[in-house]
């Protein structure tokens, strides 16, 4: 074994030493992360920091969907993108950045279009967790429904201006995103966003995803965690399950994790 190879192996071994000093994350939890697959839609101003934090934390496989080409105005918040890639598809740029930042063993697969219900259902057979980081409720509800039908946890993260929220869903036990939003409301595509705010909620969601995947630490299952960044006010509200929710009705028996 060459000196450079020995150094790289040692670096890989030590990479997560500091995070394993956390009381709630040990060697077994770290191994769980390495064996995990996460499905994400999308990896922009919120999903990009989220995916980056999962990659450097040691998650083994990330599958991402992000449609569209990179615009110059995206660069103030989409940290996975390359300024030289303006006019090019966003998804391959996100994949390249995550591969560069993650461990050599990290597997990243990216698709340059909006995820469909059929794709979400297919991927949730392999994924351990779905994360909705898209600006549209349509995409987030698609992942919510697919995760619940597969009996897998779902994390929803969203922001608008200085308002943010995160919701962790445990199928069969808690309310889901469709309990809160049965049908997608009208969407304003040109909404206000500060990168610091979108990154803040993205990393909050990533922290919860890591706890879920490692099966370690506290997770606010079924609580809508709302943060008003302007007022620095955080509130948590437990959501009621909606009896007529179609997504909750699709959860297989005994699927809660």
Could you tell me the residue ranges of all domains in the chain?
Answer: 23-249
Please tell me the distance from the alpha carbon of residue 31 to that of residue 190, in angstroms, as a whole number. Answer: 41
pLDDT tens sequence across 112-132: 999 999 999 999 999 999 999
Task: Give the pTM.
Answer: 0.93
Average pLDDT for the chain:
93
Superfamily of domain 23-249: NAD(P)-binding Rossmann-like Domain (3.40.50.720)
Query: Tokens in use for 39?
Result: 């499905």
pLDDT tens sequence across 41-71: 999 999 999 999 999 999 999 999 999 999 9
pLDDT, position 254: 66
- Cα–Cα nearest to 54, from 193, 167, 211: 211
pLDDT tens sequence across 73-101: 999 999 999 999 999 999 999 999 999 99
Question: Quick one: how far is CA 72 from the chain centroid?
Answer: 24
For residue 81, CA distances in Å to 49, 61, 85, 104, 175 come to: 11, 19, 7, 20, 34
pLDDT, position 5: 39
């Amino acid at each position: 074994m060459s000196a450079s190879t020995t150094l790289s192996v040692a670096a890989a071994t030590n990479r997560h030493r500091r995070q394993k000093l956390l009381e709630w994350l040990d060697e077994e939890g770290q191994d769980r992360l390495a064996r995990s697959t996460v499905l994400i839609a999308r990896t922009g101003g919120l999903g990009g920091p989220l995916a980056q934090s999962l990659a450097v934390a040691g998650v083994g496989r990330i599958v991402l969907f992000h449609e569209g080409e990179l615009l110059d105005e995206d660069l103030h918040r989409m940290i996975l993108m390359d300024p030289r890639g303006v006019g090019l598809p966003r998804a391959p740029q996100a994949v390249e950045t995550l591969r560069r930042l993650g461990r050599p063993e990290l597997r990243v697969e990216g698709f340059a279009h909006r995820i469909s219900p059929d794709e979400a259902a297919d991927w949730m057979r392999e994924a351990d967790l779905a994360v909705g980081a898209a600006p549209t409720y349509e995409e987030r509800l698609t992942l919510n429904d697919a995760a619940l039908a597969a009996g897998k946890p779902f994390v929803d993260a969203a922001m608008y201006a200085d308002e943010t929220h995160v919701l962790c869903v445990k199928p069969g036990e808690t309310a889901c995103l469709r309990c809160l939003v049965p049908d997608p409301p009208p969407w304003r595509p040109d909404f206000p966003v500060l990168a610091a705010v979108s990154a803040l909620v993205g990393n909050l969601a990533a922290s919860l995803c890591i706890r879920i995947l490692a099966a370690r630490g506290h997770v606010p299952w079924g609580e809508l965690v709302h943060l008003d960044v302007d007022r620095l006010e955080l509130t948590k509200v437990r959501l009621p399950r909606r009896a007529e929710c179609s997504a909750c009705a699709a959860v297989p028996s005994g699927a809660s994790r």
